[in-house]
Amino acid sequence: MFIEGNFRNSSSGETFGSYNPANGELLGEVASGGKDDALAAIDAASRAFKEWASLTVYQRSKFLMEAHRMMMESQEEIAEIMSKEQGKPFRAAMNEVQYGADFLIWFAEEAKRIYGRTVPSSRTDQRFIVLHQPIGVVGAITPWNYPVSMITRKVAPALAAGCTIVVKPAEATPLCAQAVFKIFEKANLPAGVVNLVTADDPQPVGEVFLNDVRVRKITFTGSTKVGKMLAGGSGSQLKRLSLELGGHAPFIVCSDADPVHAAKGLALVKFLNSGQACISPNRIYVHEQQEKTFLEELSSRVSKLKAGPGINKDSKIGPLINEEALEKVDQQVRDAIEKGAEVITGGYRIKDNGLDQGHFYAPTILNKVTPDMTIYREETFGPVAPVITYREGDDLLEMANDTHYGLASYVYTQNLGLAMKLFEGLNFGIVGINDINPTSAAAPFGGNKESGIGREGASEGIHEYLETKLGGFSI
Ligand code: ADP
Expressed in angstroms and rounded, the spacing between residue 248 Cα and the centre of ligand 1 is: 19
Pair (429, 453) in one structural domain: no
Q: What is the dihedral of CA 242, 248, 253, 254, to 10 degrees?
A: -70
Pair (58, 112) in one structural domain: yes
**CB-CB contact of 224 with 208 (8 Å):** no
**Strand 249-253's sheet: what is its strand order?**
342-345, 364-367, 384-390, 281-287, 249-253, 408-412, 430-433
- For the beta carbon of residue 436, count every other beta carbon within 10 angstroms: 21
Give the residue numbers spanning the domain of 172: 2-245+449-474
Expressed in angstroms and rounded, the spacing between residue 168 Cα and the centre of ligand 1 is: 10
**CB of residue 143 inside a 6 A radius of ligand 1:** yes
Q: What are 84-140's pLDDT values in tens digits?
A: 999 999 999 999 999 999 999 999 999 999 999 999 999 999 999 999 999 999 999
**CB of residue 170 inside a 6 A radius of ligand 1:** yes
Which SS3 state, helix, strand or coil, does residue 121 take?
coil
pLDDT band at 436 (very low <50, low <70, confident <90, very high): very high
Pair (144, 263) in one structural domain: no
Residue 225 CA: nearest ligand 1 atom is 6
342's enclosing H/E stretch is strand 342-345
pLDDT at 64: 98
pLDDT at 349: 98
Pair (105, 78) in one structural domain: yes
pLDDT band at 338 (very low <50, low <70, confident <90, very high): very high
Residues, the chain: 475
**CB-CB contact of 375 with 337 (8 Å):** no
**CB-CB contact of 415 with 426 (8 Å):** no
Residue 413 lies in a domain: yes
CA distance 437 to 98: 15
pLDDT band at 427 (very low <50, low <70, confident <90, very high): very high
- Which among 347, 341, 351 has a CA at the least distance from the CA of 373? 341
Give the HSE-up count for residue 88: Cα atoms under 13 Å, Cβ half-sphere: 25
pLDDT at 35: 98
Residue 438 lies in a domain: no
**CB of residue 147 inside a 6 A radius of ligand 1:** no
pLDDT at 258: 97
Residue 470 lies in a domain: yes
Residue 229 CA: nearest ligand 1 atom is 23
CA distance 141 to 136: 16
Expressed in angstroms and rounded, the spacing between residue 101 Cα and the centre of ligand 1 is: 24
**CB-CB contact of 169 with 176 (8 Å):** yes
Expressed in angstroms and rounded, the spacing between residue 72 Cα and the centre of ligand 1 is: 28
- In this prediction the pTM is 0.98
CA distance 229 to 206: 10
Residue 226 CA: nearest ligand 1 atom is 6
pLDDT at 145: 98
Expressed in angstroms and rounded, the spacing between residue 209 Cα and the centre of ligand 1 is: 13
The domain that holds 163 is classified in CATH as 3.40.605.10
- 35, 86, 141: residue to mutate for ligand 1 pocket, most atoms within 8 A of CB: 141
Residue 173 lies in a domain: yes
- The residue whose C-alpha atom lies closest to atom 13 belonging to ligand 1 is 170
Which SS3 state, helix, strand or coil, does residue 124 take?
coil
Residue 112 lies in a domain: yes
pLDDT at 426: 98
pLDDT at 351: 95
**CB of residue 142 inside a 6 A radius of ligand 1:** yes
**CB of residue 226 inside a 6 A radius of ligand 1:** yes
Q: What are 253-276's pLDDT values in tens digits?
A: 999 999 999 999 999 999 999 999
Q: What is the average per-residue pLDDT within 234-255?
A: 98
CA distance 360 to 447: 29
Pair (217, 276) in one structural domain: no
pLDDT at 272: 97
Q: DSSP per residue over 180-238, as a string?
A: HHHHHHHTTPPTTSEEE---SSHHHHHHHHHH-TTEEEEEEES-HHHHHHHHHHGGGGT
Plot region of 381 (φ>0 → left; ψ -120 to 50 → alpha; else → beta): left
Q: How are beta strands 15-19 and 342-345 bridged, if at all?
A: unpaired
Residue 312 lies in a domain: yes
Pair (361, 459) in one structural domain: no
CA distance 99 to 58: 23
CA distance 2 to 353: 39
- Which among 322, 399, 42 has a CA at the least distance from the CA of 197? 42
Which SS3 state, helix, strand or coil, does residue 338 take?
helix
- Which among 399, 410, 408 has a CA at the least distance from the CA of 452? 408
pLDDT at 387: 98
Pair (272, 408) in one structural domain: yes
> Which sequence positions are flagged as catalytic?
244, 278
Instruction: For residue 356, give every residue at least 6 positions away whose Cβ sits within 8 Å of its Cβ, in sequence order, or none.
Output: none
Question: How many domains does the chain contain in total?
Answer: 2
CA quadruple 86, 91, 93, 96: dihedral sign: negative
Pair (241, 216) in one structural domain: yes
Q: What are 55-89's pLDDT values in tens digits?
A: 999 999 999 999 999 999 999 999 999 999 999 99
Residue 188 lies in a domain: yes
CA distance 412 to 453: 27
**CB-CB contact of 441 with 459 (8 Å):** no
**CB-CB contact of 244 with 145 (8 Å):** no
Pair (425, 457) in one structural domain: no
83's enclosing H/E stretch is helix 75-85
**CB of residue 176 inside a 6 A radius of ligand 1:** no
Expressed in angstroms and rounded, the spacing between residue 162 Cα and the centre of ligand 1 is: 26
Pair (368, 219) in one structural domain: no
The domain that holds 392 is classified in CATH as 3.40.309.10
Kindly state the DSSP code that residue 456 receives in the 8-state scheme.
B
Q: What are 294-319's pLDDT values in tens digits?
A: 999 999 999 999 999 999 999 999 99
**CB-CB contact of 6 with 41 (8 Å):** no
| C-alpha distances in Å from residue 356, one per residue of 124, 333, 385 | 77, 19, 23
Which SS3 state, helix, strand or coil, does residue 165 take?
strand
Pair (377, 460) in one structural domain: no
pLDDT band at 21 (very low <50, low <70, confident <90, very high): very high
**CB of residue 38 inside a 6 A radius of ligand 1:** no
Residue 440 lies in a domain: no
User: How far separated are the first and last CA of the chain, in Å rounded?
Assistant: 52
**CB of residue 382 inside a 6 A radius of ligand 1:** no
Pair (52, 78) in one structural domain: yes
Instruction: For residue 47, give every residue at least 6 positions away whose Cβ sits within 8 Å of its Cβ, in sequence order, or none.
Output: 4, 192
**Strand 466-474's sheet: what is its strand order?**
117-119, 126-134, 466-474
pLDDT at 73: 98
